[in-house]
Amino acid sequence: MSFLFRFFSLFFLMAAIAAGTVDAILSVSTSTVVLTPFGDDWNALHPDSLPLVKAWVEHYIHAEAWRGGIERIIGLPAFVVLLGVSLVFWMIGYRKPRRISVLA
């Protein structure tokens, strides 16, 4: 099971690197700092799912959970959110290194 979480961590890390690279290229080409919000990337990938997630969170969790938490996360730059998700998956899938006994 930890392999699956580490795989997801790698996947989100690659997505964060891709999002950061796109922002860096746009920043260089426009000579201004461009940080694409996570919500814009989400809308670009699958525009129908964002309203569904909003309705689900407001119905099953609470309306304030959307306005107070998730709406702020959606406004953050995409590479920051993806790095955070990657870190969470890595922490879940982390395994301690095996101890190698010198005497055995």
pLDDT value, residue 96: 83
- Radius of gyration of the chain from Cα atoms? 18
For residues 21, 79, 38, 24, the Cα torsion angle rounded to the nearest 10 degrees is -30
Identify the three-state secondary structure at position 77: strand
What is the sign of the dihedral through the CA atoms of 1, 61, 51 and 64?
A: negative
pLDDT at 68: 85
Tokens for 95? 């395994």
Take residue 31 and report the two structure tokens written for it. Answer: 């000579």
For each successive 10 residues of the chain (104 residues), what is the average pLDDT?
94 97 96 94 92 91 87 94 97 87 70
